[in-house]
Structure 1
């Protein structure tokens, strides 16, 4: 995005066990706004997030607007608007989803199936995922099984938060960046009351965030920002 556009990332609460994970989107958004305003107390704000992060960014934008702050950009990166549905929140389904996410993020499928995991106790399931991820070098050397437990607790809290969140209509500008692998509607059109522009990025939900596809994403985002500044 260039040297003149500093970029800050926000980390899930509870990853290191020093705090309890947050289990509502509203509380996540409020927590991240507090962190954001330690760096930049006043608007305009440029927000964005990938996957579930886009949902949290949506709620952050809502809360900031309600507080009288300007949100100059809300970028949703292959994020889906939550729909009322019965999510599988049992530990085996969650463990299987965590394994699939780890494999997707690093481009290597873990040699585990839900059927394999169903035959194990919850602690054993997590140990198997940890062992498989370590063998494939998907986790940094310093990550141990205790850290894996914290990761799973955050993952579980995130799924609960998404299952219980109902996004409200938003009146600001939204840029939606969709992976080219699926033309599926992400569900934001009906609740976006302001401008919504959609861009297609090569790859799937995971590979769009890797080189070189992420370079395309950065270029598209930079083009969008430059267009907004000239309007």
Structure 2
């Protein structure tokens, strides 16, 4: 997910700068690194799209999605395995190395944290991991059983989150009508484009969601030295209760205070889990993210080449007369005189 760049044809022609060094590795190193946003239990559209739009002037955002939703491979039921699957995409998209910046909404934040741990294990610097209302599961709960009917209902409701963020319902699903009569509308809302594969698309989405819920319930974050910023709403209520099969922490740090994170910052914004990416609260989130994003310092300007000292010639033979005040040029008088 990348904000649209200015078309090349409309960019003003650069002025010639014959004495300026060509842009190379030094210039690339001063370019802010992208922010990788991991999708969670939600289907498309990616939950990071509102934030990507709010940050588009200063930061490029890249979207990462959970494996299995497109049907190209089986879903993964382990958080670390999901992070391992996403790791090559991050390394290929930012081939010059760190510092890396990661984030995720809800369960996506949990996967982003584990992805950050993998990068640190490779010796790569991680500038920041952003957790957007990513509550940890309470320990001691059993793994939830698969419930396809519940999964479809919760996927449809989470798809409606994007309608809240956009200020208009565009998903095409009527939550006042039984969902069992809206299979085609739900498949389209979840990204299906081929009418011959609507049913397969729904099955893939349900399998991915169910595997992710199981992985979520079993996850216990290992300690790390990652710099983590938790952005959570002041209102802990989740009106739609997703995922309803899990019991999540409601502590001030949403359970992360027990994870052994060396650098954990918590920022609280107005709103709740559903409205945090909608106006006006989205701009509170963007302001916090902007404050903690990595900002590369400009490279020092090279010192100008020293000019050779002029050769000493013979001393002047003419008379030299000291200039008095009446012979000073305008504007070159003694300091303090006007």
TM range (shorter): 0.7 to 0.9
Q: Quick check: 1:103–1:110 contact (8 Å CA) kept in 2?
A: no
Shift of 1:102: 3.1
Assess, with a 3 A threshold, how the Cα gap between structure 1 residues 98 and 89 changes in structure 2: closer, same or farther: farther
Task: Select the residue among 155, 172, 177 that pairs with 1:98.
Answer: 155
Structure 1 counterpart of 2:106: 51
Q: Could you report, residue by residue, the CA deviation over 1:39-67 in whole angstroms, capped at 9, with x for unpaired residues?
A: 11311111111100000011111111122
Give aligned pairs, total: 215
Q: Could you report, residue by residue, the CA deviation over 1:94-133 in whole angstroms, capped at 9, with x for unpaired residues?
A: 3443344334443478237xxx8xxxxxxxx7x5463564
Q: Quick check: 2:128–2:294 contact (8 Å CA) kept in 1?
A: no
Task: Select the residue among 142, 145, 153 that pairs with 1:86.
Answer: 142
Structure 2 counterpart of 1:23: 77
Q: Quick check: 1:106–1:138 contact (8 Å CA) kept in 2?
A: no
Assess, with a 3 A threshold, how the Cα gap between structure 1 residues 192 and 111 changes in structure 2: closer, same or farther: farther
Extract unaligned runs of 5+ from structure 1.
Answer: 117-124
Is residue 63 from structure 1 mapped to residue 118 from structure 2 by the alignment?
A: yes
> Separation in 2 of the partners of 1:48 and 1:34?
17
> Separation in 1 of the partners of 2:296 and 2:142?
39
More moved, 153-162 vs 83-92: 83-92
> Separation in 1 of the partners of 2:258 and 2:192?
45
> Separation in 2 of the partners of 1:188 and 1:128?
41
Q: Quick check: 2:128–2:292 contact (8 Å CA) kept in 1?
A: no
More helix by share: 1
- Which contiguous aligned blocks of 4+ residues in structure 1 show a shift greater than 6 angstroms? 226-229
> Separation in 1 of the partners of 2:261 and 2:77?
27
Shift of 1:181: 1.6
> Separation in 2 of the partners of 1:103 and 1:69?
37
Task: Select the residue among 213, 224, 227 that pairs with 1:159.
Answer: 213
Say which structure, 1 or 2, has more relative contact order (CA 8 Å, 6+ apart): 1
3-state secondary structure, aligned to 1:195: strand
Structure 1 counterpart of 2:224: 170
Q: Quick check: 2:129–2:228 contact (8 Å CA) kept in 1?
A: yes
Assess, with a 3 A threshold, how the Cα gap between structure 1 residues 128 and 203 changes in structure 2: closer, same or farther: farther
Assess, with a 3 A threshold, how the Cα gap between structure 1 residues 129 and 189 changes in structure 2: closer, same or farther: farther
> Separation in 2 of the partners of 1:226 and 1:39?
17
Q: Quick check: 2:192–2:201 contact (8 Å CA) kept in 1?
A: no
Structure 2 counterpart of 1:119: none
3-state secondary structure, aligned to 2:231: strand
> Separation in 2 of the partners of 1:132 and 1:23?
27
Q: Could you say which structure has the larger radius of gyration?
A: 2
> Separation in 1 of the partners of 2:111 and 2:143?
18
Q: Quick check: 1:29–1:60 contact (8 Å CA) kept in 2?
A: yes
Extract unaligned runs of 5+ from structure 2.
Answer: 1-54, 238-249, 298-338
Is residue 111 from structure 1 mapped to residue 179 from structure 2 by the alignment?
A: no
More moved, 7-16 vs 99-108: 99-108
> Separation in 1 of the partners of 2:296 and 2:270?
23
Assess, with a 3 A threshold, how the Cα gap between structure 1 residues 39 and 228 changes in structure 2: closer, same or farther: closer
